[in-house]
């Protein structure tokens, strides 16, 4: 497995369109992406979501045009090096979401609700979601589960916080599922996922992540709900896609899931760059004069005179 806002949600810049620049090219204006705007994309332009966990990566992804930055609880695995997402705490989720929110000028920022931050009761779910929005600067929250958590979703939504659902492979339930297995295999299993997704939609979720399921099951869910579905390992029949940033950039160490296309091999580039750095430090070719501040001429002149 892995700012700025105004009443229309359109930010302080013009709403869409383009402005000619000095070199004659057109610069596209982008609006801050909001949950209602994402919900309205059902069946329209596919939604591109990527995970992010820190400010620098968030800025890069935001500038490249992603619609949603998901601060996934996958941070437990890809940032903290744990073997599952289960130990991630709400405080850790808030810390990473804040860092990402500072780098997200346009992309919508979704904070993932960690294991046991929402399952206990609807009241606990509202409190945790509120913390992710108040302390974590999240613009919406995501939580795993279907019918079982529908009441919790409804209460969070009624508190004014948009919710993204997550069905299929729900990694926080890894022990109950018996491993990170593809879900929705066979008609009955697929129908259960459809029922979960419908329950989330009825509870007010504005979008639903579909993780690790056969493409036909994901397409069935997408057909059955009126909110966008965002797939990961769920085929092309969804309203959008999500990937873990390190997976799509070729930075993941170890197992690479089949669905995680590498759009670059940044891991290899880092390896070569750091090897070059180590060599240049050791052979004295770094730092060169161009990497040094100007020498203090007057002091070295005085030293020379003193020697004479
Ligand atoms: O935690 C995460 O990164 C996720 C995505 C893989 C959907 O939930």
Q: Do 247 and 300 lie in a common domain? A: no
Ligand 1 center from residue 238 Cα (angstroms): 16
Q: Is 128 near ligand 1, meaning CB less than 6 Å away?
A: no
Asked whether residue 245 is assigned to any structural domain, the reply reads yes
Q: Do 56 and 192 lie in a common domain? A: yes
Q: Of ligand 1's atoms, which has the minimum distance to the CA of residue 72? A: 1
Q: Do 103 and 198 lie in a common domain? A: yes
Q: Which of 57, 72, 171 to mutate to test the pocket of ligand 1 (most atoms within 8 A of CB)?
A: 72
Split into its structural domains, the chain has a count of 2
Whether 226 contacts 239, CB under 8 Å: no
229 beta partners: 208
Over the stretch 174-203, which tens digit does the pLDDT of each residue have? 999 999 999 999 999 999 999 999 999 999
Asked whether residue 83 is assigned to any structural domain, the reply reads yes
Q: Do 164 and 274 lie in a common domain? A: no
Say whether the peptide bond before residue 148 is cis (omega within 30 degrees of 0): no
Whether 50 contacts 245, CB under 8 Å: yes
Give me the catalytic one of 151, 211, 297, 301. 211
Q: 288 vs 270, 285, 292, 293, CA distance in Å?
A: 21, 6, 7, 11
Helix (H) or strand (E) holding 168: strand 163-168
Asked whether residue 3 is assigned to any structural domain, the reply reads no
Where do we find the tokens 């979501």?
49
145 beta partners: 166
Q: Do 176 and 288 lie in a common domain? A: no
- Calculate the CA dihedral of residues 9, 10, 13, 16 and round it to 10 degrees: 180
Q: Do 213 and 240 lie in a common domain? A: yes
Asked whether residue 23 is assigned to any structural domain, the reply reads yes
* Structural domain range at position 295: 270-307
CATH number for the domain spanning 60: value is 3.20.20.60
Asked whether residue 6 is assigned to any structural domain, the reply reads no
| Final residue in a domain of this structure, among 230, 248, 264 | 264
Ligand 1 center from residue 3 Cα (angstroms): 23
What is the residue-level pLDDT of the chain in tens, covering all 308 positions? 553 333 333 333 333 455 555 555 455 679 999 999 999 999 999 999 999 999 999 999 999 999 999 999 999 999 999 999 999 999 999 999 999 999 999 999 999 999 999 999 999 999 999 999 999 999 999 999 999 999 999 999 999 999 999 999 999 999 999 999 999 999 999 999 999 999 999 999 999 999 999 999 999 999 999 999 999 999 999 999 999 999 999 999 888 899 999 999 999 999 999 999 999 999 999 999 999 999 987 666 666 666 65
Asked whether residue 7 is assigned to any structural domain, the reply reads no
CA distance 97 to 71: 6
Asked whether residue 119 is assigned to any structural domain, the reply reads yes
Asked whether residue 9 is assigned to any structural domain, the reply reads no
Q: Is 51 near ligand 1, meaning CB less than 6 Å away?
A: yes
The residue whose CA has the least distance to atom 5 of ligand 1 is: 72
Whether 74 contacts 99, CB under 8 Å: no
Where do we find the tokens 């090219």?
25
Q: Do 46 and 191 lie in a common domain? A: yes
Q: Is 290 a catalytic residue?
A: no
240 beta partners: 47, 230
Q: Do 166 and 297 lie in a common domain? A: no
Q: Is 73 near ligand 1, meaning CB less than 6 Å away?
A: yes
The residue whose CA has the least distance to atom 3 of ligand 1 is: 72
Task: Convert 188-221 into a string of H (helix), E (strand) and C (coil).
Answer: HHHHHHHHHHHHHHHHCCCEEEEECCCHHHHHHH
Q: Do 162 and 220 lie in a common domain? A: yes
Q: Do 176 and 236 lie in a common domain? A: yes
User: How many Cβ atoms sit within 10 Å of the Cβ of residue 111?
Assistant: 34
Within 8 A by CB and 6+ apart from 134, the residues are none
Q: 189 vs 221, 222, 241, CA distance in Å?
A: 12, 15, 22
């Amino acid at each position: 497995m892995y700012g700025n806002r105004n009443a229309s949600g359109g930010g302080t810049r013009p709403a869409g369109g383009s402005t000619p620049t000095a070199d004659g090219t057109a610069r596209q204006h982008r609006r801050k992406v909001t949950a209602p705007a994402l919900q309205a994309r059902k069946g329209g332009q596919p939604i591109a979501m990527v995970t992010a966990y820190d400010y620098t990566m968030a800025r890069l992804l935001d500038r490249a045009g992603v619609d949603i930055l998901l601060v996934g609880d996958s941070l437990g695995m890809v940032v903290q090096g744990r073997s599952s997402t289960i130990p991630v705490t709400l405080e850790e989720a808030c810390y990473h979401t804040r860092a990402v929110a500072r780098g997200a000028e346009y992309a919508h920022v979704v904070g993932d609700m960690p294991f046991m931050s929402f399952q206990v009761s609807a009241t606990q779910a509202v409190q945790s979601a509120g913390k992710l929005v108040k302390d974590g600067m999240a613009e919406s929250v995501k939580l795993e589960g279907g019918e079982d958590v529908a009441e919790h979703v409804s209460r969070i939504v009624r508190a004014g916080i948009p919710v993204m659902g997550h069905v299929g492979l729900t990694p926080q339930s890894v022990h109950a599922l018996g491993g990170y297995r593809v879900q929705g295999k066979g008609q009955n299993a697929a129908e259960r996922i459809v029922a979960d997704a419908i329950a989330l939609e009825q509870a007010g979720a504005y979008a639903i992540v579909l993780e690790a399921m056969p493409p036909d099951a994901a397409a069935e869910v997408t057909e059955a709900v009126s909110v966008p579905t965002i797939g990961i390992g769920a085929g092309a029949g969804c309203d959008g896609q999500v990937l873990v940033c390190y997976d799509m950039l070729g930075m993941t160490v170890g197992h690479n899931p089949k669905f995680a296309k590498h759009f670059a091999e940044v891991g290899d580039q880092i390896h070569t760059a750091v090897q070059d750095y180590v060599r240049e430090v050791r052979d004295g070719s770094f730092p060169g004069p161009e990497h040094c501040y100007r020498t203090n001429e007057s002091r070295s002149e005085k030293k020379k005179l003193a020697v004479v």
